[in-house]
Amino acid sequence: MHVHFLDPYRPGYSPVHALDARIKLVLTLAFILTAALTPAGAWPVYILLLALALGVEILSELGVGYVLKRAVLAFPFVLAALPVVFTLPGKPLFSLMLGPWALTATQPGVERFVSIALKSWVSVQAAIVLASTTEFPDLLMAMRALRIPRLLVSIFGLMWRYLFVLADEVIRLMRARISRSGEADRADLKPGGSVIWRARITGGMAGSLFLRAFERSDRIYMAMLARGYDGEARSEPLQRLSSASWVTLALGMLLLSSLLVFALLFWA
């Protein structure tokens, strides 16, 4: 297994893959902003947003199952909004006893929590489609084209590069651990060492991982400076957007703005 498993990009020839990275980035950000600004309880708008996300997933040829499985990542973070179920005033639905405390769930609280969960879920799907159909250097160039601060874009690029450095060091340490996990001489020990031995090795790996990754990343950065790196991502000049790209951008923004206005008019 190589560190390339961290890269979410999946090559393809779908219309979404062929779309300019600047258009995909703008539409994805607009989609996430629309979902975030949609009022709680606007269920028809949530259904339309989900249908739009599923349609793009089908068009991208990534597979709906692939995107939905990865979008499950949003649910652990949604649990941070769980207190709103019991803190918002309104019609009580049920009560839970937590030691000496009685927690009462209200209808507005449950509605707000479910709304947050749905909006987070569809937003993560949009981000997954963007990352899976666009190479990361193209995303960096798109950020530069949108006038995102250069320092912030450089930080994104370095973080992405050093993530692979860290993962590569983890793989090296795991390989070294496996090579030292031969069958023990004592009969009462299982192959690979005792639990105490495994805990000691794991603790040592965790302690040295940061130092090894920092040392290697520093060597990589020195090599980058020796080759003329000045914080700028080098690439060929970006081409002008085609008429089809402008039409796609206009239609996408019109659709998303219409959904947002519809939601604000009827559920705000």
Kindly report, residue by residue over 169-178, the tens digit of the pLDDT.
777 777 776 6
Angle separating helix axes 43-60 and 243-267, nearest 10 degrees: 160
Query: Both 108 and 140 in a single domain?
Result: yes
Number of domains forming the structure of the chain: 2
Amino acid (one-letter) located at 222 = M
Query: Both 138 and 208 in a single domain?
Result: no
Amino acid (one-letter) located at 138 = D
What does pLDDT average to over the chain?
81
Query: Both 227 and 246 in a single domain?
Result: no
What tokens appear for 38 in the block?
Answer: 């949609």
Per DSSP, which regions of 134-185 are E strands? Answer: none
pLDDT on residue 161:
76
Distance, in Å, from the CA atom of 27 to the CA atom of 250, rounded to the nearest integer, reads 10
For 159, other C-beta atoms within 10 Å of its C-beta total: 9
In a domain, 168, yes or no: yes
Distance, in Å, from the CA atom of 150 to the CA atom of 212, rounded to the nearest integer, reads 29
Residue 187 has pLDDT above 50, yes or no: no
Question: How confident is the model over 105-112, as a mean pLDDT?
Answer: 87
Question: How confident is the model over 137-156, as a mean pLDDT?
Answer: 85
Sign of the alpha-carbon torsion through 191, 194, 197, 199: positive
12 vs 231 pLDDT, higher one: 12
Domain membership of residue 125 as a residue range: 8-148+237-268
Query: Both 202 and 80 in a single domain?
Result: no
**pTM, 2 dp:** 0.79
